[in-house]
Amino acid sequence: MAESELPDWTDNKMGSMVRAALWLATQVGEGNVYTKDQLRAAFPDVAQIDRRVRDLRELGWVIATNREDPQLAPNEAQFVRAGAAVWEPGVIRASRQQRQSKSLARLLEPEALRVRAFDDIRLRQAPDPEAVWGRLKDLSQPERSIILAWIAMGYRPSSSVELAWRAFRGLSEEQRQEMAVRLGELVSSELYEELPTSGGLKGAP
């Protein structure tokens, strides 16, 4: 899509992550470098605009810092490549669901299970405190809040996804197949509801 066809990045009706994506696409351009000061100056009304830009990575946007490219200064970042068109209706939700599905599929692969088992064995060994701190520090703010709550409770509670998976595994093979069909129909209907109608597409008759 040409820049002239993209929504206005200054439109406050859109979310800050969508506006940041449009700013990168129209004001910075792929392959170009920008500074954190330029980003914050463009979004003076958004307190955590840096985090909103980082969130774009989960949707296929490639944004390098001096951690990935040592030639960049600490206050610089490079917009390498655009990802999902997050300004289009339903794209954010569909992209995240697709990413979650791929992650789940990888976890269920035999090789992934073996690697995970090996990691569990390594975690039983005495870890390096600095390595542990490095992992904690690299977590996002919501993730750090979650693990801090686990530390306070003294245990990690099972997520709703894990509980649903255990319940699913308790079904018979025939019941699992029926449940998979029903779940597929539900997910498909949710994705369909998020798709833009033909009347909203540019150039549609």
Band (pLDDT 50/70/90 cuts) for residue 62 is: very high
**pLDDT band at 100; cut points 50, 70, 90:** low
Question: Residue 10: what pLDDT?
Answer: 92
The mean pLDDT of 163-167, rounded to a whole number, is: 81
pLDDT of residue 200: 45
- Here the tokens at position 5 are 């066809």
Distance between CA atoms of 1 and 25, rounded to whole angstroms?
10
| Bridge partners (DSSP) listed for residue 63 | 79
Residue 14 above 60 pLDDT? yes
Assign 95 a pLDDT band (cuts: 50, 70, 90). low
Continuous segment of H or E residues that includes residue 140: none
- Report pTM: 0.49
Give the bridge partners for 34, in sequence order: 77
Which residues touch 50 (CB under 8 Å, ≥6 apart)?
36, 39, 40
Cβ partners under 8 Å of residue 17, min gap 6: 52, 53, 55, 56, 86, 92
Please give the single-letter amino acid code of residue 99.
R
In DSSP notation, 107-122 reads HHSHHHHHHHHHHHHH
Which comes out higher in pLDDT, residue 186 or 81? 81
